Amino acid sequence: MVKKKNIRGCPNRASTCKTKKAGSQTASSKDLTPLDNPADSDISAISPEPQTTDRGQLGFPDRVYLLASVIFQNNHLEKPAAQRLVNYGKERGLPLPEVKDEEMQRPAYELAFNTLKYQELLEDIMIDSCFYLTQPMPDDQMSLVAVMLYDFQDRKFLPRESQGEEEIIQEVRDVENYLLRFKTKLAASLARCRIKHDLLSIECILPESVKTKQERSNSLPLYAWVNTLKSSLEEVQSVLKNAGFSQVKSVGQLEGSTFCQDPHCGDILVFPAQLKAQLYSTKLLSDHKLIVQDKSCSLGPNAVCSLLREEGDVLMAGCFSALTVSHTASLIAEEHKANRNDQPTVHVCVSDRTNAQREELQQNVTAMGCKNVKLIPEDLQSLDGGDKRLQKVRVILLTPKCSVSAVSNPVEFILQENGDTDLLQDLSQGSIAQSKLEALVAQQRKDIDHALKFPKVLAVVYSTCSSYPEENEVVVSRALEQAKACSEQEGEPKQANFRLSPALFSIPDHAEGPEEAKHFFILEPSEQSNGCFLAILRREPEPEVKEAPHEVLVRANAKGILDRIGFNQLTRKQQHGHTNRITKTTHARTSQPHFSVSIQSKNQETKVSNSTTLCGHQEFSNRRQSSQAKALRLQASKNAVSSSSSFSKPENSTPKKSITPVFSTTTSTTPLHPAPPPATPLAPVVRPRRAHQEVLKPVVLVLPQVHFPNFFPPEHSRMRFNPSFSYNNWRPPAQTVTLSRSSGSLSKDAVIKSRPLF
């Protein structure tokens, strides 16, 4: 098995290059210690990771150098022509060479990333030693020279040891021979550069932010989550204790063969970084019962699991690995294991991956035991709430591409989580270019704005590994404002009820922090973990609005749902009020007692007619005015008849007595045809009326018309049709006629008294 190295350049590593102030070329040789026996460690037999010895590294295979040179060529800092010391050619964006063993990718990226960090120093060495001017190297091979020069000085300018049968690449061997010929001059140039810049070690030339991250990456513990589909937390802890591990209470107590439980996520166990090989010996990693992954990638799946209800699916979009998908699926499957027939599904957007990558992702998820994962070839922007596949989606986990500025070991993180390798050059200098940051923020805004437009989604979990507020708080706050603005526009779905949910994970150290700390989960990068940002945007339930019954009917009738049934009921109520007002007004104007009989009977007919009307307020008003006019005309006609029939009566009769109607509007409101009663009676009913008495209405009693030619001149023959004509000046008092209420007919005495005397 080919042993690989861990790139040095970190002051805490065992192989750190410690140089003296004197700048002697032989100073590095004094730091060498005897080679440890590789057989003393079980790492070489178990772990495929690159290995480090105390004396130095054995070097990399030729294929790793070639791959690292292409990565450096595509990402190196290109200076202006006036400031350019070394020319690397004009070609960029070269395809990566094929690597048979995927384990070569990580050391190649590590080597290229370290070369990017020390690009300016390496160029000074090549110029000062005259290597760049004397060696006949084409410009397109200078990237290979740069990566091999960094590895050469990292190995104390010692040649590579033979590693048995391996692939030989002649281009790599030629550059190695050139460097070996110039190793003395190269070492002297490095010493002069350190003296010139007063560098205790070459790490001191790095920006402070890069140096801090480099130091933190050496002490980061190992985080691993328990795959509940393969095992349980209790079983894993039992296996670890049987293998010689002891459990401690906090991360700060980790030392030796110890582990502890993460304070934020109960399914995560934390180990010292050097115990990965010992974990492989327990077969927990090889059996997929314990999965090693950065903690910042596990917070999102835990938040999703706590937000998902009994019925509902999850949609994942952004930048993530198969481990994150498996973690989300396993947590949900364990939470809803009782419902075996209809378990929630995890839909994954994989539009940015090739067919081979999709197949690999599906294989890894299946190996983890996850059966509730479905891949969606479209991206998030092309999906909407009407998609039949997403009708049950209630939570969206959004992990967009970010600057990874809160990660201390960016190379390992980017490779494991399918990150953007174009950020390596910016990360090697400690800051992200403004143009790249703006591009990332623009895409993040599009993703979160689109995620909030799904009408059935109850929560959106937004997670990044960035330390820039532009990618975190600013994006989330702007998304809420944008959603509120869109909801106010006509035709847009209601999104304004999304709000920030309090953080699900508490941070004791930030208990007295700013107000936004209560809504955002911000984990600062430290020696114990990488940094991350997490926000939960939860949809508030619609407020319950209690409408009055008539408001519900009016709104339903406006939409044409109830065929204006409720509207007619309201009209009948209003019409009843209008009828009473008409009766009172007419009675006051005429001041004649017997007028009420005709008007009341006519109003009752009007009520019957209007009870079946299906018209609006305007039509009702017109009918009411027409009915009122007809009632007045009929009233005047009957008044004329009554006056003429009683004209010959004595003038000293009592005028206060009048004909008493059997039914009045206050005691009988039942129409001739069945109709719903009004909502509230206008006057209390004296006693209930029986059905057989409804036919005995006095409103149908009309005395026959009598003409008196001796008293009426011809010009007044039709005066009875004029309702404005007054008979009060010449009409004799009316004869009193008493009606019997009990029998519903005229009494005998009343009939005799009412006969005409002529």
pTM of the predicted structure, to 2 decimals: 0.65
Higher per-residue confidence, 254 vs 46: 254
**What integer pLDDT is reported at residue 401 of this predicted model?**
94
Residue 464 has pLDDT above 50, yes or no: yes
Residue 418 has pLDDT above 50, yes or no: yes
Q: To which H or E segment does residue 552 belong? A: helix 549-558
Residue 41 has pLDDT above 60, yes or no: no
Q: Is 570 exposed, middle or buried (0-12, 13-18, 19+ CB in 10 A)?
A: middle
Name which of 8-22, 85-99, 555-569 the model is least confident about. 8-22
**Which three-class secondary structure state does DSSP give residue 514?**
coil
| 465 tagged catalytic | yes
- The bridge status of strand 459-464 relative to strand 532-539 is antiparallel
- Among 705, 582, 731, 706, smallest CA distance to 653 is for 731
488-520 burial, b for 16+ CB within 10 Å, e for fewer?
eeeeeeebbebebbebeeeeeeeeeeeeeeebb
Give me 490's structure tokens: 């006509």
Mean pLDDT along residues 63-83: 91
- Among 458, 476, 466, smallest CA distance to 520 is for 476
| Active-site hit among 17, 297, 319, 465 | 465
**Of how many residues is the chain composed?**
758
Cα separations in angstroms, 718 against 209, 403, 609, 712 = 112, 101, 29, 10
pLDDT tens column, 359-368: 999 999 999 9
Q: Is 144 exposed, middle or buried (0-12, 13-18, 19+ CB in 10 A)?
A: buried
pLDDT tens column, 507-564: 444 444 444 456 889 999 999 999 999 999 998 766 555 667 777 777 777 777 766 5
- Half-sphere exposure of 246 toward its Cβ, with a 13 Å CA cutoff? 6
Cα separations in angstroms, 113 against 60, 216, 401, 412, 683 = 15, 16, 19, 11, 94
Mean pLDDT along residues 703-712: 57
Average pLDDT taken over every residue of the chain? 74
Q: What is the CA radius of gyration of the chain?
A: 48
Mean pLDDT along residues 697-725: 52
DSSP code, position 46: H
Mean pLDDT along residues 441-445: 96
pLDDT band at 707 (very low <50, low <70, confident <90, very high): low
**What integer pLDDT is reported at residue 610 of this predicted model?**
44
Residue 680 has pLDDT above 70, yes or no: no
Alpha helices in 368-495 (DSSP H): 410-416, 424-429, 434-451, 473-488
Mean pLDDT along residues 477-485: 87
Name which of 298-307, 327-336, 664-673 the model is least confident about. 664-673
**What integer pLDDT is reported at residue 709 of this predicted model?**
53
